């Protein structure tokens, strides 16, 4: 369902907006209630006061800040009589949030005589200026008492609604508390500041702690996953979700650092220095500056840590996939190529500069790779180059290997300067536009100009025939050729040997970080999104679907199995339609023909089909896509998430359940489905290089297939068991990747994401929802591009309420919280429950004898619970397991005593006495 209150800047363009109105009959933009006279209450400045001051500031002492906040949260559960009286008064006065275009404002419901207002209307008085308004009932949401303003867990809010959740997040964010629990999930708002919340001292605060006892922090997610791994011996995954620039990679690094530092490693082979080195290299080769994030990841990666019996890290690997290779030669205007090029151009010393022919740099480049102009940027890039070289040294990459990399990167630079002619010769073959630069490239690569020229422009793979029937004649204008170098770098055995040990491993913990949602319009760019951006959005959305599946679908199924009834009818159960529009396969995949049929299939398949159809163009491809998934003109086909753009090659896709409409420009997309022999030729050319350091690096790599992923740190331990164990977790992934090699580039995207999801699905998944506070390019300072719904002089840190709202809706976090609160998230099978807790009822053991055989586990658990005198309403006896009512903590309450008996089902602790 497209929400009825939807806000700029994420709504579709005006034209699309009009079409949506035709389809859905209602505007998507929130109109300020007619009764609200200008000036609109721009920001909730006069909200409920901030809770009592928190001791400690994040700069001075993050530990003190976290402890104080946690203590305050705990204390707020134990209320004095005065506080209780104040809260009663609050409830009596009916405080509400008025939801409006610019945010939400606190108000009080004014009591009116029955029938004095039109139906569906309610009278309210705005808190900050006393204005009286008549507004729609649907535009108000109940507000929580001030003691809930900085609740550590959104699940504990008395009234769970969007405004209250946003208020809580804002209040915490304003107090430098950017982490908040959302039931079993974690929400992190990017603080856009120096990460002082992360240090060894803070790590130690979380070490060994149970989640229930610790303040929300990304370290507590790591700790809880680690604890789960140790107690259940089940593989765990931590998946980071969010928009580009929301902080996924930063959090991913903190997670790894925490785990490695807290768990330790077998033989102390993993040091913080090594991890830092790995990330320095990944960042150099895989990140670049985009309109959303000045240091955005342009590849997905999965960190896998394998733990041994003692709970130490025995081996580790990083698997990369979907590297945006095309960025080397082609990318949106105002975005940059991969960082490493700038580092090298600024940081190479004079002898390397001479060797790379960098003493005189070109003014033009077909690839747009030009040196930075600002001295401060150059200086920073130069420092980064030094850091990169040091990181390579830490990971055992020899000087010669490093040199090989600089030579290839240098050659890519010169190829950009060489460019290609627009028109071909008599044989239709194109050639270099400026031979002198091509000559330099050939020299650096250790081959002749002729060899280089023919491997790029001759459309026949060197030494191999390509006969796949789905592929047409390649024509990428010689652009994709050089991108293979990047791929090879990322794939190269850069880090091999750096992090391995020979110990046995028991369970694995995966951390998944992929590029965040991209939407040029959020960054106020007037361009359609690219195919690469579509791939990143698709990957994010698949991970979001996994969250949906884990949170809703599986839980609902479990409740059904256990005969538990829940009143959750209003929770949407549909998975994302925008995913289907991208990847839905034909049911006849095995006997596929390329004929155009009526059977619906997603964009990735259509690209492949239209690329080889006579007369196939991006427009014919989109026509077919609309015929399968679009709404017919004027006809309400329901919640279509696909719309036509203003031009034939433009289309809009409503990602994240229609909360993030992205306009894509499909021009040139069919070339992605076409085979590019130059990519394979490049690998062969490098392998045959006259320069030993280059050929050595690529030996055995010219396999003839362009693979989008590579294990850059195949760092498993060498023992059989370790290998078997570590491999089992990644088996699906490897199988997926093997299948990938046989498919076209478009299908590879889907298969790789399938493999990733399958791998994660086998584990217990922990989700971290990263939120972007403002729509500005993060990481580089500058003025916010959009300030929406927040006044800059507010005492809280500025936060774009509209953007936050859209992210919350897209994530479905509120629905997840509802199911969590109403449901029974903590559960245990009867036999396990009895095994753990029968120590609490020794008289039963005595009665039945120590070794008695239980024939009816359910009855035995019932007897145990009865003998403990526990409140029936706090737990549910299912068909195979006992579940604790969620509320806030998974405990089962004791009936009569002044204490609640806490049977923490998810913890390894047997029981705790908890004061009421
Ligand atoms: N927890 C944090 N503390 C301090 N600064 C942060 C934090 N998280 C993110 N940042 C800042 O925001 C910038 C963007 O974060 P990051 O690159 O991790 O986002 P991302 O979600 O991985 O983006 P993308 O999807 O584009 O790769 C970082 O360079 C850093 O400056």
Segment 139-151, tens digit of pLDDT? 999 999 888 888 9
Instruction: Tell how far the Cα of 164 is from the centroid of ligand 1, in angstroms.
Output: 26
**Crossing angle for the helix pair 449-457 and 677-687, to the nearest 10 degrees:** 150
In a domain, 834, yes or no: yes
pLDDT in tens, 501-516: 444 568 999 999 999 9
Pick 364 or 64 by higher pLDDT.
Answer: 364
Nearest CA to ligand 1 atom 16: 247
Answer yes or no: is the C-beta of 630 below 6 A from any ligand 1 atom. Answer: no
Instruction: State the complex-level ipTM.
Output: 0.99
Q: What is the pLDDT of residue 636?
A: 43
Structure tokens at 54: 């928190």
Neighbouring C-beta atoms of residue 232, cutoff 10 Å: 13
pLDDT in tens, 729-759: 455 455 444 444 555 778 888 988 999 999 9
In a domain, 330, yes or no: no
Mark out the alpha helices in 699-744 (DSSP H runs): 720-740
* Full-model pTM: 0.80
Structure tokens at 770: 């990263």
Query: Between the ranges 321-330, 782-791, 871-880, where is the mean pLDDT highest?
Result: 321-330
- In whole angstroms, how far apart are CA 271 and each of 268, 277, 278? 7, 10, 11
Q: What is the pLDDT of residue 148?
A: 87
- Name the least confident of 101-105, 187-191, 504-508, 704-708: 704-708
CA–CA gap between residue 483 and residue 327 (Å, rounded): 8
Asked if pLDDT for residue 118 goes beyond 60, the answer is yes
Which of 193, 250, 295, 773, when mutated, tests ligand 1's pocket best, judged by the most ligand atoms within 8 Å of its CB? 250
- Name the least confident of 90-104, 248-262, 819-833: 819-833
pLDDT band at 823 (very low <50, low <70, confident <90, very high): low
What residues make up the domain containing 4?
Answer: 1-31
In a domain, 5, yes or no: yes
In a domain, 639, yes or no: no
In a domain, 835, yes or no: yes
CA–CA gap between residue 127 and residue 125 (Å, rounded): 6
In a domain, 861, yes or no: yes
Which long-range contacts does 735-744 make (Cβ < 8 Å, 24+ apart)?
737/707, 737/709, 740/707, 740/708, 740/709, 741/703, 741/705, 741/707, 744/468, 744/470, 744/471, 744/608, 744/611, 744/673, 744/675
Ligand 1 atom closest to Cα of residue 197 = 3
Neighbouring C-alpha atoms within 13 Å toward the C-beta of 428: 5
Instruction: Tell how far the Cα of 706 is from the centroid of ligand 1, in angstroms.
Output: 30
pLDDT band at 75 (very low <50, low <70, confident <90, very high): low
CB 259 within 8 A of CB 509: yes
Q: What is the pLDDT of residue 885?
A: 57
Angle at 373 (CA atoms; ends 369, 377), nearest 5 degrees: 95
Q: Pick the closest to residue 715 from 286, 302, 305 (CA basis).
A: 305
CA–CA gap between residue 149 and residue 157 (Å, rounded): 9
Kind plus residue range of the DSSP H or E element containing 884: strand 881-884
For residues 313-320, give the mean pLDDT. 87
Answer yes or no: is the C-beta of 242 below 6 A from any ligand 1 atom. Answer: yes
In a domain, 871, yes or no: yes
Pick 722 or 568 by higher pLDDT.
Answer: 568
CB 453 within 8 A of CB 432: yes
Beta bridge partners of 295: none
Grouping H, G, I as helix, E, B as strand and the rest as coil, residue 624 is helix
pLDDT band at 401 (very low <50, low <70, confident <90, very high): very high
244 labelled ligand-binding: yes
CA–CA gap between residue 285 and residue 388 (Å, rounded): 10
Q: Pick the closest to residue 534 from 552, 515, 554 (CA basis).
A: 515
Length of the chain: 916
Q: How many domains does the chain have?
A: 2
- Name the least confident of 136-140, 301-305, 533-537, 548-552: 548-552
Label the pairing between strands 132-136 and 121-126.
antiparallel
Q: What is the pLDDT of residue 697?
A: 84
Answer yes or no: is the C-beta of 515 below 6 A from any ligand 1 atom. Answer: yes
Nearest CA to ligand 1 atom 9: 247
CB 665 within 8 A of CB 527: yes
In a domain, 350, yes or no: no
pLDDT band at 76 (very low <50, low <70, confident <90, very high): low
CA–CA gap between residue 421 and residue 456 (Å, rounded): 13
Ligand 1 atom closest to Cα of residue 294 = 29
- Name the least confident of 124-138, 285-299, 452-466: 452-466
Label the pairing between strands 507-513 and 650-654.
unpaired
Q: Find out whether the peptide bond into 39 is cis, omega within 30 degrees of 0.
A: yes
For residues 423-448, give the mean pLDDT. 87
Neighbouring C-beta atoms of residue 398, cutoff 10 Å: 12
- Name the least confident of 453-462, 630-639, 707-716, 810-819: 707-716
For residues 435-449, give the mean pLDDT. 94
**Crossing angle for the helix pair 435-445 and 449-457, to the nearest 10 degrees:** 100
CA–CA gap between residue 139 and residue 767 (Å, rounded): 31
């Amino acid at each position: 369902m497209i929400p009825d209150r939807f806000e700029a800047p994420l709504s579709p363009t005006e034209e699309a907006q009009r079409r949506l109105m035709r389809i859905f009959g209602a505007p998507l933009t929130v109109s300020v209630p007619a009764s609200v006279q200008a000036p609109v209450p721009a920001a909730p400045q006069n909200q409920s006061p901030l809770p009592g001051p928190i001791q400690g500031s994040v700069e001075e002492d993050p530990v003190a800040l976290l402890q104080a906040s946690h203590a305050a949260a705990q204390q707020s559960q134990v209320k004095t009589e005065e506080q209780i009286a104040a809260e009663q008064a609050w409830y009596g006065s009916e405080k509400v949030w008025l939801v409006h275009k610019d945010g939400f404002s606190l108000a009080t419901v004014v009591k009116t005589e029955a029938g004095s207002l039109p139906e569906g209307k309610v009278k309210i008085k705005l808190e900050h200026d006393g204005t009286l308004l008549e507004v729609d009932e649907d535009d108000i949401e109940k507000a929580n008492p001030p003691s809930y303003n900085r609740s550590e867990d959104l699940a504990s809010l008395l009234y769970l609604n969007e405004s209250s959740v946003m208020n809580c997040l804002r209040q915490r964010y304003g107090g430098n508390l950017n982490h908040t629990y959302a039931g079993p999930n974690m929400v992190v708002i990017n603080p856009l500041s120096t990460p002082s919340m992360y240090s060894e001292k803070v790590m130690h605060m979380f070490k060994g702690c149970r989640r229930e006892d610790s303040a929300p922090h990304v370290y507590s997610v790591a700790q809880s996953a680690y604890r789960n791994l140790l107690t259940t011996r089940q593989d765990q995954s931590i998946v980071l979700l969010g928009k580009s620039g929301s902080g996924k990679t930063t959090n991913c690094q903190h997670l790894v650092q925490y785990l490695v530092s807290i768990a330790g490693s077998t033989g102390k082979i993993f040091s913080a220095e090594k991890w830092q080195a790995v990330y320095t290299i990944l960042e150099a080769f895989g990140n670049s500056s985009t309109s959303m994030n000045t240091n955005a990841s342009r590849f997905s990666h999965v960190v896998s840590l394998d733990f041994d019996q003692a709970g130490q890290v025995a081996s580790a690997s990083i698997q990369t996939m979907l590297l945006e290779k095309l960025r080397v030669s082609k990318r949106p205007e105002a975005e940059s190529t991969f960082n490493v090029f700038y580092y090298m151009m600024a940081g190479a010393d004079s002898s390397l500069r001479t060797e790379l022919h960098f003493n005189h740099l070109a003014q033009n480049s077909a690839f747009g790779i030009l040196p930075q102009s600002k001295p401060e940027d150059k200086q920073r890039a130069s420092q980064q180059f030094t850091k990169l070289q040091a990181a390579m040294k830490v990971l055992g990459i020899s000087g010669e290997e490093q040199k090989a990399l600089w030579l290839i990167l240098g050659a890519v630079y010169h190829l950009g300067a060489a460019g290609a002619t627009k028109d071909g010769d008599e044989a239709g073959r194109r050639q270099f536009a400026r031979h002198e630069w091509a000559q330099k490239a050939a020299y650096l690569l250790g081959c002749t100009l002729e060899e280089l020229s023919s491997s790029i422009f001759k459309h026949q793979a060197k030494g191999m025939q390509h006969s796949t029937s789905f592929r047409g004649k390649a024509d990428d204008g010689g652009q994709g050729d050089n991108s293979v170098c990047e791929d090879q770098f990322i794939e190269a055995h850069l880090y091999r040997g750096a992090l391995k040990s020979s110990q046995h491993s028991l369970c694995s913990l995966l951390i998944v970080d992929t590029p965040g949602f991209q939407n040029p319009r959020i960054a106020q760019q007037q361009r359609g999104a690219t195919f690469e951006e579509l791939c990143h959005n698709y990957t994010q959305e698949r991970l979001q679907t996994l969250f949906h599946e884990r949170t809703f679908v599986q839980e609902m199924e479990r409740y059904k199995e256990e005969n538990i009834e829940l009143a959750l009818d209003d929770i949407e159960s549909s998975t994302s339609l925008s995913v289907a529009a991208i990847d839905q396969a034909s049911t006849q995949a095995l006997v596929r023909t390329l004929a155009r049929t009526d059977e619906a299939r997603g964009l990735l398949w259509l690209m492949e089909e239209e690329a080889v159809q006579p007369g196939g163009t991006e427009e014919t491809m989109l026509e077919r896509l609309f015929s399968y998934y679009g709404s017919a003109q004027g006809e309400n086909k329901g919640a279509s998430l696909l719309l036509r753009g203003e031009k034939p090659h433009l289309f809009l896709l409503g990602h994240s359940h229609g909360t993030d409409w992205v306009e894509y420009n499909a021009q040139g997309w069919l070339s992605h489905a076409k085979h590019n022999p130059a990519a394979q030729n490049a690998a062969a050319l490098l392998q045959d290089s006259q320069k030993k350091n280059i050929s050595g690096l690529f030996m055995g790599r010219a396999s003839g297939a362009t693979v989008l992923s590579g294990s850059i740190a195949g760092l498993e331990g060498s023992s059989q068991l370790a290998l078997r164990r570590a491999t089992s977790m990644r088996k699906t992934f490897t199988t997926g990747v093997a299948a990938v090699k046989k498919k076209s580039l478009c299908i590879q995207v889907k298969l790789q994401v399938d493999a990733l999801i399958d791998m994660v699905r086998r584990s217990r998944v922990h989700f971290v929802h990263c939120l972007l506070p403002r729509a500005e390019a993060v990481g580089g300072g500058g003025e916010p591009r959009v300030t929406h719904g927040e006044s800059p002089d507010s005492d809280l840190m500025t936060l774009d309420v509209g953007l936050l709202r859209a992210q919350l809706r897209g994530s479905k976090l509120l629905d997840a919280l509802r199911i969590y609160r109403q449901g029974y998230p903590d559960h245990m099978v009867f036999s396990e429950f009895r095994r753990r807790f029968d120590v609490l009822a020794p008289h039963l053991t005595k009665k039945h004898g120590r070794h008695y055989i239980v024939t009816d586990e359910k009855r035995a658990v019932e007897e145990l619970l009865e003998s403990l005198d526990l409140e029936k309403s706090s737990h549910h006896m299912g068909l195979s397991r006992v579940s604790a009512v969620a509320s806030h903590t998974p405990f089962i309450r004791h009936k009569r005593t002044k204490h609640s008996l806490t049977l923490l089902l998810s913890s390894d602790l047997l029981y705790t006495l908890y004061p009421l």
